[in-house]
Amino acid sequence: MKQTLVDIERLVRPNILKLKPYSSARSEFTGKASIFLDANENPYSLLTDQEGLNINRYPDPMQWQLKEVIAKLKGIQAENLFLGNGSDEVIDLLFKIFCRDGQDNIITLPPTYGMYNVAADIANIENRKVNLDLNYQPQVDKILAATDENTKLIFICNPNNPTGNLIQAEAIRQILENFEGIVVVDEAYIDFELEQSSISLINDYSNLVIMQTFSKAWAWAGMRLGMAITNPTIMSYFNKVKAPYNLNVLTQDLALRNLKSEEFIKNTQEKVAEILRQRAYLKKELSRFNFIQRIYPSAANFLFLQAENAAKIYNYLRNQGIIIRNRSNLVLCENGLRITVGTAQENRELIRALTNYSQGTESGFPSPH
Ligand SMILES: *Cc1c(COP(=O)(O)O)cnc(C)c1O
């Protein structure tokens, strides 16, 4: 393996390079003490039903306890871990660290997750779109040809949303080795196919940032806990730019207590296995409908499929109170639908609704709504 030594400082915005970060009361004093009169907090904890939560105090700015536990679960060092308010915060910080307004550009690989483009628009950064190929794999030569000295970030979503497929490891490696900017591998769904993670590469490639989240397999979408996994050089800029108290006390406390619990970990693993079984059930049942032409291989907790008249199916299901995602308008996704794997009962109801739809369609009767 060729190791890369990309000059990270060349990539960082000059104002961030020389930034003197805000120093909070809680980061200036970290030792043991019993009286804290340094942060203008209210000394009274006024919650009625959350025993033992120091909600009146500012949280640990660096979340060290939680990082130790998560790092252990992931087989990395706490120093390689950044925790954020969802992966969305990580995306936002990447733009703040690296992208000069109106001057730099990024590359995304459509059809893919929409937030990269929104974040680029907000930051006023050009998004150079290099479509995936017909197998939804990166076109490495075209991607590299689209870069210039102002290309700061390439976003690779693995497994890809909305198409559900894994990205070939060789393509990721080639991009890492031949691009002198930051390669962001978004692994939001990797917990459904853990052995495909790029996490073991973080010490080999100085330009690799991996994003993961607790929103999907870990069932904490409402908690807003995402992460970046990278080397200490890039990490230092994340820590420089982040809001001082970016993870609140409730999130840190709840996450810490649960991730320390063997029972919680076991439950989570069992639920992931159940979702994979349900995915196989859905795939089998869906493949019987002749209005569904293609169901793509999935490495995530959703199925991507191509159907005859996707918009009509979407509307029919919506009228039955079942919401799926119509992705027909994305490039390379004509008549594409994305269906999240639900509980056994939700999946059965989906299949029942589609059976009714198919009977209405085949007999020529209009659908009931
Ligand atoms: C769901 C998802 C995320 C997760 O975002 P959070 O802000 O952590 O909830 C990130 N990337 C992709 C591709 C996703 O589908």
- What is the per-residue pLDDT across 6-28, written as a single tens digit (0 to 9) for each? 999 999 999 999 999 888 888 88
- pLDDT at 1 > cutoff 80: no
Residue 5 has pLDDT above 90, yes or no: no
Nearest to 308 by CA among 354, 246, 239: 354
Please report which confidence band the pLDDT of residue 369 belongs to, taking 50, 70 and 90 as the band edges.
very low
Ligand 1 pocket member 198 (CB < 6 A): no
Q: Which residue has the higher pLDDT, 11 or 369?
A: 11
Cα of 17 vs centre of ligand 1, distance in Å, is 28
Model pLDDT for residues 224-254, shown as the tens digit of each residue: 999 999 999 999 999 999 999 999 999 999 9
Decide whether any atom of ligand 1 lies within 6 Å of the 111 Cβ: no
Taking the CA of residue 90 as reference, the ligand 1 atom at the shortest distance is 7
pLDDT in tens, 79-138: 999 999 999 999 999 999 999 999 999 999 999 999 999 999 999 999 999 999 999 999
Q: Could you give the percent of the chain with pLDDT greater than 70?
A: 96
pTM over 0.85: yes
Ligand 1: atom nearest CA of 160 is 13
CB-ligand 1 contact for 218 (6 Å cutoff): no
Q: What does the pLDDT read at residue 3?
A: 59
Q: Is there an atom of ligand 1 within 6 Å of 188 CB?
A: yes
Q: Is 86 in the pocket of ligand 1 (CB under 6 A)?
A: yes
Bridging pattern class, strands 105-108 and 151-157:
parallel
Between helices 249-259 and 262-286, what is the axis angle to 10°? 90
How far from 99 is each of 53, 103, 104, 105, CA to CA, in Å? 38, 8, 6, 7
Residue 312 has pLDDT above 70, yes or no: yes
CA dist 350 → 60, 281, 307, 309 (Å): 44, 12, 15, 17
- What is the structure's pLDDT at 239? 97
214 lines ligand 1 (CB under 6 A): no
**pLDDT of 364:** 45
Distance 113 CA to ligand 1 centre (A): 8
Q: What is the mean pLDDT of residues 358-366?
A: 65
β strands within 95-222, DSSP E:
105-108, 126-129, 151-157, 182-186, 208-213
Q: Is residue 53 pLDDT above 90, yes or no?
A: no
Phi, psi at 182, each rounded to 5°: -90, 130
Residue 157, ligand 1, Cβ within 6 A: yes
Name the percent of the chain lying above pLDDT 90.
90
Residue nearest to atom 12 of ligand 1 (CA): 188
Q: In testing the pocket of ligand 1, which one of 90, 91, 113 has its CB within 8 Å of the most ligand atoms?
A: 113
What integer is the mean pLDDT of 304-316? 98
Give me ligand 1 centre to Cα 112, in Å: 11
95 Cα–ligand 1 center, Å: 16
pLDDT at 32 (0 to 100): 86
Ligand 1 in contact with 104 (CB < 6 A)? no
Residue 30's pLDDT is: 72
Q: How far is CA 22 from CA 59, 240, 242, 245, in A?
A: 15, 8, 10, 11
Burial class (CB in 10 A: 0-12, 13-18, 19+), 20: exposed
Confidence band, pLDDT 50/70/90 cuts, at residue 54: confident
C-alpha of residue 222 to centroid of ligand 1, in Å: 12
249-271 pLDDT, tens per residue?
999 999 999 999 999 999 999 99
Query: Strand 302-307 to strand 292-295: parallel, antiparallel, or no bridges (unpaired)?
Result: antiparallel
Q: What mean pLDDT, rounded, does the chain reach? A: 95
Please tell me if the CB atom of residue 215 comes closer than 6 angstroms to any atom of ligand 1. yes
Q: Is the CB of 110 under 6 A from ligand 1?
A: no
pLDDT value for 127: 98
* C-alpha closest to that of 87 among 246, 284, 264: 246
CB neighbour list of residue 126: distance below 8 Å, 6 or more residues apart: 104, 105, 106, 120
- Give the residue whose CA is nearest to atom 14 of ligand 1: 188
State whether the beta carbon of 186 lies less than 6 angstroms from ligand 1: yes
Q: Say if residue 52's pLDDT is above 90.
A: no
